[in-house]
Amino acid sequence: RRFAVRFVSSREVVTTMAAVRRTSRAPWILRASSTPSPGPSSRSGFDGSTIPPFLNTTPHPRHVRQHFYADVRHATLKAIEDGARRAVVRSVFPEMNTETDVYRVGTLLEMARDLTTAVAQDGKRVKLCVQQSLGKGVFQGLPLSLSGVRKIMEKMEWEEGLVEDGFVRFGSVGEDQVEDDDDVFVILCPQNMQGAALLPLLQAMDEKAGERPIVLINPDLTDIPSSGNVMQVRGRQERMEFVANFKDIYHFRLLYKKPFLYPIYGALRMTYGEPWTVYKRVQKSRKEEDYFPVGSFDKEPSTSEITSCILGR
């Protein structure tokens, strides 16, 4: 048999491989699906459990991430539908915990894309915001966990038509970021910095947004007292009252014996419309573990209440 040999350039190889990836992979691997993915238990394979096992195994399998994305999405959509105006989503499983060395910024962005896409598919125009550099001169900068996030976010693949048609737009924090046709604002990890306060910018944005929903994902708006009368005692009560206007619509975090991050003793979970629930982690064998509810509260339980539930006092 005779074979024809053709030499191709590296550019042709790259173009061909990109085309193969686009056509051969499932859409939900590369971009947000055109239809919201199923609920936490329907695709994750956890038999209806509200918490997946072996969360200390990182990087997390994709189905574990999808479990939490769906959990956050369902709570947020329900809260917005019920008229929630100022909301907080706090999801701190290991890959979303900036205190650990397994923090993965890609997980944060995937969750933001999943949530934003679902809200936009509901017919709303969403402004996805990441705070800008704060401070002055040599002290100007961003928190390490947000460094480069805005650029990565804009280069991600989004559902066709969402960005082009203006249903998803990107911005920072401030009054000038609010446009008349914006319907919902989602802000990623807003936080104060040493020597620079984000709250004045957020307050101005809040005032101009009016009755339109603002959703904060994993915020840290506690004061960081700094020189130059920044975040000092004066005005602290007003700042605390403003932050208190943002109500929890979703909360998940693992429970450890501080200051250690191992072993996992349990978890605390709350989703919109349901009580705060304390779960105890029970390891049945090396390959089997589960989380069992051991306490339920109308508001976030204190450390002593959580400890009593875990220890069975």
pLDDT in tens, 186-229: 999 998 887 678 888 999 999 999 999 999 999 998 877 766 66
> Which ranges in the chain belong to alpha helices (H)?
10-24, 27-30, 40-44, 62-81, 105-121, 149-155, 199-209, 236-244, 303-311
Predicted local distance difference test score (pLDDT) of residue 29:
29
Distances (CA, A) of 212 to 55, 87, 261, 265: 35, 11, 38, 39
Higher pLDDT, 259 or 43: 259
Between 185 and 25, the more confident residue is: 185
Q: What is the mean pLDDT of the chain?
A: 82
Distance between CA 281 and CA 283 in Å, rounded?
Answer: 7
Q: What is the pLDDT of residue 232?
A: 66
Q: pTM here?
A: 0.81
Instruction: Give the range among 120-129, 142-151, 174-183, 231-240 with minimum mean pLDDT.
Output: 231-240
Rounded Cα distance, 271 and 73, in Å: 10
Which tens digits make up the pLDDT trace of 42-87?
Answer: 333 433 347 999 998 999 999 999 999 999 999 999 999 999 999 9
15 pLDDT tier (thresholds 50, 70, 90): very low
